Structure 1
């Protein structure tokens, strides 16, 4: 994992917060209290088991979370896990899940949910493009992905709030892999068919600070605040992510006050730097990324 720089224009009054590489803790001065930030490619999937591109991952982290995430110290930090312990041989991780966690639907989050969600994502028939890449260190994942096993041997539910994950050999980077969406938890009761990819926003129920309320391919994603979020109610009421592929159009929308933050292309930097009105709004954000 490394820090990936994001050069952007941020509207004056936009207050930077800390978190898991997202903008859920920004304060916004707009009357609607909605943070508007374009997404460049239209997501091909919003299912944690299918998503691959960085921009979409950035978006769905508002709705879905996992046991761990990246902290500002460049190290894995607890998100839905209260803590974890590693066995002396470095192969078994015991996660204690936070008490009283709930999905935005109100359903409780248990260790069984993590096991079931990972196993669903590793089903041969589901054909996740990322399961083997990020989870194959876990004992039994390769067998599950290939259809040779019905469950993953290395994932055990000890009790409702305790989960163990055993990997094939000590790997210092393993926790980093669990920050990827393939290991996120979701409300299985909301799925129309657990073996099929999520396509309806009604199925996309997680534990994150925002609920996905609207997705129109090639147009927009919209989120509303989860007032019962375990990390505290978000400071803004909603997030709007219009799909804007053209860099010049994104910059013009920012000039027009239609966006609160816009990612800049290298070729735009000089023009912005020479613009007395825009230059004070030029910001460099660091966000965690794995490659």
Structure 2
């Protein structure tokens, strides 16, 4: 084996990540308890590493669990639970060495077998993890999930308690970054099997291996973390407590922040109508980079959104510039494709700029929208059925939905109804396809265009558009071709891989299974006395090095 770092992936990550904690000041000591209060915005659907697929749950997991690697504040994956690793000459075999002193919160040692169990658990068809596809880079992984192989055929194995060997399908320059992601974090089999679907929220049995542990879980109220006394780097954890509040109403959350009751308002929790004032008046307000796309998703297996002409009519009829400037107000960029700016191909070119805008204007193209609506059989909106746009409860999502509703009424002569749902219910509604049009957003899991494109494969647990040739090959033949492009890109490199990914996004946009609206930014607020916090361009917050300096 030859030790080497995957420099291309790391370089790209370092260019894209952002650490916003500022320079640390000398601590004032332990005269007062170090308590950080952070607003999640809603109760996470789950805090189970293999079952979570949302940012809020991911923030809790990122502070209670730890993968083989962790992103540092320069945006580079560095050894965490693994103290070192080697990579084979062909870039396909990784060997990780678990560090001495890595322990679970109950004092038991973290073993290589805990990672093997967790990864195979995510791939178990019975578990039905929405993020199972994130492990398909491993030999035998996809075959196991699809029922064509056994767990023993998945090429991840614990050589001994301290050594984990992983064999990939092909060289994957961002694999180290993947191991920082929550789906790749370890869990203990003896704990999970006690309560397979609820163990992570049950403080009587849950264990974790990160800097903090969940000490209290109050549904629809708050989650409280305390330091993990058995964490290998415990001496550098300065916070005595983290309180994750679950204030859904953004205005209420801002009031709490301005009253000193919250220390951080994360991305998306700052009221849109207050952003212009805060930019002028509050030095703790900032807009950080955020690698993500805000969009509406069409159910392509339900009438009338199963007609691509309807989808294109609705997409061309909205004014993205007006939405970003007059509604969102957070410096967002109008989206003219699905992959956002800030990701690069093998030649260092910005993927979005190179792929182009797919003929989507930042303002409404009303004539083109009307042409597509007429082609679908609804000239001037005549006879168009009433549709419902579903969104999760939020002032911001409501404001955007109302703006889109008005644009469709004015530009196409059609009426749509709006319906909001609580976050956990909404996630289920969207996942099972019980909608015609739904709000959605996708934040990158790593810094490569693939994190936005493999979302729409037929086997992706997050393909909520129901665009799956496996359910109707004739109807969704384009998805079968899409699958083939994504699969081939996993075993190719350089410009050949680039071409496959560009072609895949073109198919995606030709089918218009989504209506891109804008590319995210991260309007947020952090009190000046909070030091050492870390937030990356993927919206992941980490407090293992944070402290309160008042």
TM-score (structure 1 length as normaliser) = 0.83
Q: Which residue of 1 aligns with 2:265?
A: 262
Q: Is the contact between residue 67 and residue 179 of structure 2 (CA under 8 Å) also seen in structure 1?
A: yes
Residue 66 of structure 1: CA displacement?
0.7
Residue 16 of structure 1: CA displacement?
6.5
Residue 151 of structure 1: CA displacement?
2.6
Q: 1:238 to 1:216 in 2, by over 3 A?
A: same
- Which shows bigger deviation, 258-267 or 51-60? 258-267
Q: SS at 1:163's partner residue?
A: strand
Q: SS at 1:83's partner residue?
A: strand
Alpha-carbon distance in 2 for matches of 1:36, 1:16 = 20
Alpha-carbon distance in 1 for matches of 2:259, 2:271 = 18
Alpha-carbon distance in 2 for matches of 1:270, 1:96 = 50
Q: 1:272 to 1:29 in 2, by over 3 A?
A: farther
Alpha-carbon distance in 1 for matches of 2:28, 2:287 = 17
Q: Which residue of 2 aligns with 1:105?
A: 106
Alpha-carbon distance in 2 for matches of 1:287, 1:99 = 28
Alpha-carbon distance in 2 for matches of 1:224, 1:27 = 20
Q: 1:246 to 1:256 in 2, by over 3 A?
A: same
The structure with more radius of gyration:
2
Residue 229 of structure 1: CA displacement?
1.9
Alpha-carbon distance in 1 for matches of 2:39, 2:277 = 20
Residue 59 of structure 1: CA displacement?
1.6
Q: 1:66 to 1:161 in 2, by over 3 A?
A: same
Q: 1:144 to 1:287 in 2, by over 3 A?
A: same
Q: Is the contact between residue 84 and residue 95 of structure 1 (CA under 8 Å) also seen in structure 2?
A: yes
The answer to whether 1:248 aligns with 2:262 is no
Q: Is the contact between residue 115 and residue 157 of structure 1 (CA under 8 Å) also seen in structure 2?
A: yes
The answer to whether 1:287 aligns with 2:536 is yes
Q: Is the contact between residue 49 and residue 128 of structure 1 (CA under 8 Å) also seen in structure 2?
A: yes
Q: Is the contact between residue 17 and residue 74 of structure 2 (CA under 8 Å) also seen in structure 1?
A: no
Alpha-carbon distance in 1 for matches of 2:180, 2:111 = 18
Which of 261, 278, 289 is matched with 1:272 structurally?
Answer: 278
Residue 197 of structure 1: CA displacement?
4.8
Structure 2 matches for 1:174-213, cutoff 5 A?
A: 174-193=175-194, 195-198=196-199, 199-213=201-215
Deviations 1:45-78 (A, max 9, x none): 1110111111221122111111012223322211
Q: 1:192 to 1:27 in 2, by over 3 A?
A: farther
- Which shows bigger deviation, 45-54 or 72-81? 72-81
Deviations 1:17-63 (A, max 9, x none): 6xxxxxxxx99999442110110132001110111111221122111
The answer to whether 1:50 aligns with 2:51 is yes
Alpha-carbon distance in 1 for matches of 2:214, 2:58 = 13
Residue 282 of structure 1: CA displacement?
3.1
Alpha-carbon distance in 1 for matches of 2:32, 2:76 = 37
Alpha-carbon distance in 2 for matches of 1:28, 1:243 = 29
TM-score (structure 2 length as normaliser) = 0.46
Q: Is the contact between residue 254 and residue 271 of structure 2 (CA under 8 Å) also seen in structure 1?
A: no
Segments of structure 1 that go 5 or more residues without pairing to the other structure are 7-13, 18-25
Q: Which residue of 2 aligns with 1:166?
A: 167
The answer to whether 1:135 aligns with 2:147 is no
Name the structure with the higher helix share: 2
**Relative CO higher for 1 or 2, CA cutoff 8 Å, sep ≥ 6?**
1
The number of equivalent residue pairs is: 272
Alpha-carbon distance in 2 for matches of 1:15, 1:190 = 38
Alpha-carbon distance in 2 for matches of 1:155, 1:80 = 17
Deviations 1:87-115 (A, max 9, x none): 01110001111012110011111111111
